[in-house]
Structure 1
């Protein structure tokens, strides 16, 4: 790979995640100003969908930040950021329902969610140590060390790939639940999907970057081995 091509490659790795984040923020900002016909807060939406699915033991709490919403399967709690928790917008309803989608996955033992949870410790370790091994292998000319770095990186990349079906499934469940619960009406479905699709872009971008980096290091390893 020439210098020009390499610079373009690095630029793409930086631009793709930045573009995805910008898309999420702009979409969230736009639809956080548009109220739903039900006028329910994100917390009320989450509670209704949870109760409709018999998940009375799952609690709803608040967390600081913007779009820091998440579901903690260990504590059985959905953490909503302040804007989502108190908001009565399409963005608030969509994000809250998405996190409930993860709680429903947990209840139904959705296979990809279980697989992703099992990968967490391996992926965390792999992402932390892989670059050290790869850099050390390159500096020392120790390709076996370089290969171990690739193997550990593969675990982190696998986590990114498994995250995709988990997130898309949660969004599909969110749409179904929002409609069945009467939170949104037919004319609001299109805009709600835009919010959910924008959020999914960040995971797609992260996966693309991770796969691209892994492939690059594999090609470097193969070139040096030959």
Structure 2
């Protein structure tokens, strides 16, 4: 019979997944709070986020990258398909320490592509596969349970594992982009020492959200494996 937990309660979720979900909520609140705090601190040199991103590119000898405005809050990203850094309203024209840190981080991704940083190219290559896996995993597992068809459950778990691999590859990519950003900030002296510390705290808080996402994904994968393993033993 299928795993039902204790008195119908999924103990694997409570013990494994829930703490990671709570950690993810905490990490998201930290990044929002840290960004909001340091977005009120204007840099003494008065560089905007867009100018900071351009400075990081120049410091690394990277050319041909566009910098554009994008709507939304913290929607900043680098698009390798068009070689474009897109900065949100709270970053593009802002001279805050937090905005400079975020903009420099996105420029760090552009530098990664320019120098052929392997993990980011791997992440980009597996994106389509992981998107399909993340979408199909739970429906496949549910169908396998309803139809009592173990192969579908296995395929569903493999599909979910692909999304976990994506999170695993994403974490070092994001940490490396922040390191490149902070190195360029220090090299170009676009921030004073105390401001540098604030930018670093902003990027460290952002990195924690990726740590949390990986933790949630790993915990969920372990939960599925434990449930599936238990079901196999019950079916013998």
Q: Distance in 2 between matches of 1:31 and 1:196?
A: 11
5+ residue gaps, structure 1: none
Q: Indicate how the Cα distance of structure 1 residues 135 and 46 shifts in structure 2: closer, same or farther if over 3 A, else same.
A: same
Does the aligned pair in 1 maintain the 2:13–2:223 contact within 8 Å? no
5+ residue gaps, structure 2: none
Could you say which residue in structure 2 is the equivalent of 1:64? 71
Could you say which residue in structure 2 is the equivalent of 1:88? 95
Give matches, 1:117-156, under 5 Å: 117-156=124-163
Query: What is the total number of aligned residue pairs between the two structures?
Result: 226
Deviation (angstroms), 1:7: 6.3
Deviation (angstroms), 1:110: 0.5
Does the aligned pair in 1 maintain the 2:12–2:223 contact within 8 Å? no
Could you say which residue in structure 2 is the equivalent of 1:36? 43
More RCO (CA 8 Å, sep 6+):
2
Question: Which residue of 52, 61, 65 maps to 2:59?
Answer: 52
Give matches, 1:1-226, under 5 Å: 1-2=5-6, 3=9, 5=11, 8-9=14-15, 11-226=18-233
Q: Could you list the runs of 4 or more consecutive aligned residues of structure 1 that deviate by over 6 angstroms after TM superposition? A: none
Secondary structure of the corresponding residue to residue 40 of structure 1: coil
* TM-score, scaled to structure 2: 0.91
Deviation (angstroms), 1:186: 2.1
RMSD of equivalent CA atoms: 1.4
Secondary structure of the corresponding residue to residue 75 of structure 1: coil
Does the aligned pair in 2 maintain the 1:38–1:182 contact within 8 Å? no
Q: Indicate how the Cα distance of structure 1 residues 122 and 4 shifts in structure 2: closer, same or farther if over 3 A, else same.
A: closer
Q: Distance in 2 between matches of 1:186 and 1:144?
A: 57
Q: Distance in 1 between matches of 2:227 and 2:11?
A: 15
* TM-score, scaled to structure 1: 0.95
Does the aligned pair in 2 maintain the 1:45–1:96 contact within 8 Å? yes
Q: Distance in 2 between matches of 1:14 and 1:139?
A: 27
Q: Distance in 2 between matches of 1:129 and 1:137?
A: 12
